[in-house]
Homo-oligomer: A and B are copies of this chain.
Amino acid sequence: MSILVVGSVALDTIETASGRREEVLGGSAMYFSVAASYFDQVFLVGVVGTDFPEEGFHLLERHGVDLDGLQQEQGKTFRWTTRYHLDMNHRDTLDTQLNVFESFSPRIPEKYTTATHLFLANIHPSLQLEVLSQVTDPGIVISDTMNLWIENTPDELEEVIAKTDIFLLSDSEARQWTEEPNLLRAAKQLLRRGPAHLIIKKGEHGALLVNEDGAFFAPGYPLENIVDPTGAGDVFAGGVVGHLSKLNSMEDADLRQAIIYGSTLASFNVESFGLDRLSTLTNEDIEKRYGTFRDLTAFEKN
C-alpha cells in the first residue's frame, strides 16, 4: 500500500571514531523514507531551505519517494552537528540550527491522504497532532518521540500516544516517561495509554515488541565496524513500517518479521556515514542479512 511520513530533513555534520563528515543528508524523514522505499511507496512531508543540494532531491527520487509534500522555503535547511563518544552509544549535540524547520507547518497534499500508513517521526508533538488533525483517515499510525518531548510537552505527547497504533521509543525513554524502572511494567503501562503495540528500541541491544500477544525480542546485529549510528532509529522504523505497509498486515507474525527487517536495515545504515550504505542496498543484500538474523537467534534443531 503506501506510507506518509512527516519529519525532519537536515544537513548533518557528524564526528565519530571513524572520521568526520560535513553537511551530509540527514533528518528523520530522510532516513525513514530511504529505508521504507525498499518496501513500498513513500510520501514525504517536510521542509528544506533554498540551499538544499540537488543531490538530496535526486537521491529521494531515485528511491521513488514522492516529493510533492517536501516544501522548499526561503532560508537555510535545518542543520545539526554531533560528536559520538568512543563507544558509539553516546553522543553530544554540538550545534542545532532549526532554520526553516523552526516555522515548519506540515501541509499534506490531497493525494497523500490515501496512504495506508502514517509515520510521525520524532518532531514536536504539536506538529504530530497537527498532522493527525489534517488526515481524517490516517490508517495505521506509527509514532516516534524523544526524551525532550517527554520532559517538556508530556500532555501533548499523551494525546499523540492515545491516537497511535504502534508507538516507538527507547528503553530509557520508556522508563523516564513511566517512572518505572522495570521495562516490561513500563511497556504495559504505556500500552494502557492507547497503542496496540509498543516497540522499545534498545540500541546495540536490539528491540523489544510488546503487545497483548506477549513479547518478541530482536537482537542487535553484531557488527565489527560501526562507522556512524546516526539515523539508526529512523531507518529501523522505515524497515518496520515498510514491511507492514507492503503486506498491509498487523498480524503478530508480520510485526515480528517487520522488526527483523527494521533491524536489518539499521545494521546496514551504521556501517557508513550518513546514507552512504543505506541508499545503495539491493534487495539481495537485505534478504541475505535478514537470513543471518535467523542464524543469530535460532536454537531449535531440525
Contact = CB atoms under 8 A, between A and B. Distances in A.
Interface of A: 17, 86-88, 175, 181-185, 188, 202, 204-206, 208, 210, 214-219, 222-226, 253, 256-257, 259-260, 293-301
The CB with the most chain B CB atoms within 10 A, among A183, A217, A225, A256, is that of A217
Contacts of A208: 222
Nearest to A254: B301
Contacts of A87: 175, 181
A182 B216 contact: no
A119 B82 CA distance: 46
A184 B224 contact: yes
Nearest to A86: B181
Given A202-B205, A256-B299, A299-B257, A184 B222 contact: yes
Contacts of A253: 299, 301
A196 to B, nearest CB: 18
A182 B224 contact: yes
Nearest to A297: B297
B260 A214 contact: no
Please classify the interface of chain A as helix (H, G, I), strand (E, B), loop, or mixed, using the class held by over half of its residues: mixed
Contacts of A205: 202, 205-206
A296 B229 CA distance: 26
A297 B224 contact: no
Contacts of A184: 222-224
Given A181-B87, A204-B183, A215 B296 contact: yes
A205 B294 CA distance: 18
A209 to B, nearest CB: 10
Contacts of A182: 88, 223-226
Contacts of A297: 216-217, 297
A264 to B, nearest CB: 11
B296 A300 contact: no
A214 B181 contact: no
Contacts of A293: 299
Nearest to A261: B299
Contacts of A175: 87
A299 B260 contact: yes
Nearest to A210: B222
A103 to B, nearest CB: 40
Given A17-B181, A257-B299, 19 more contacts: A86-B181, A182-B223, A182-B224, A183-B222, A184-B222, A184-B224, A188-B224, A205-B205, A206-B217, A208-B222, A214-B296, A216-B297, A217-B219, A217-B296, A253-B299, A257-B301, A259-B299, A260-B299, A294-B299
A198 to B, nearest CB: 12
A297 to B, nearest CB: 5
Nearest to A181: B87
A215 B206 contact: no
